[in-house]
Homo-oligomer: A and B are copies of this chain.
Amino acid sequence: MSENKKYNIEVRIWIEETSGPFLGIGKVWLLENIQKNGSITNAAKEMKMAYRQAWQLVEEMNQRAESPLVEKLLGGKGGGGAKLTEAGERAIAVFYEVEKRIKDFALKETQNLKL
């Protein structure tokens, strides 16, 4: 009887809009950290990501979304900040939900993977 190697099916999903990628796991993590920290600056810090990069991702998301996912506050108390809109919170939930469904399905496929 032969020792069969173990193979796993890995899946990466993202949501795309006509003008390009809209939301993948990277942006979702960023959204979660913005929600947690109240600013792009601190979210980026916690993720050890450059502020510039984080800011650009937020721009992309907001532009491709039907309505912005992140509300940015410029100046004012504490210099400003950023927080998720309802659409932003919904986007996180929807992404994880869809991701889970597809990954569960992929896992079932892994069982009867015949290589």
Contacts and interface: CB of A to CB of B under 8 A. Distances in A.
A66 to B, nearest CB: 5
A47 B114 CA distance: 29
A73 interface: no
**For the complex, would chain A's binding face be called helix, strand, loop or mixed by DSSP majority?**
mixed
Interface stretch (A38-46, A49-57, A77-85, A98-106): A98-106
Interface residues of A, number: 31
Interface of A: 4-18, 21-22, 65-66, 90-91, 94, 98, 101-102, 105-106, 109, 113-115
Given A10-B15, A94-B114, 6 more contacts: A6-B17, A10-B16, A11-B12, A12-B12, A15-B115, A91-B115
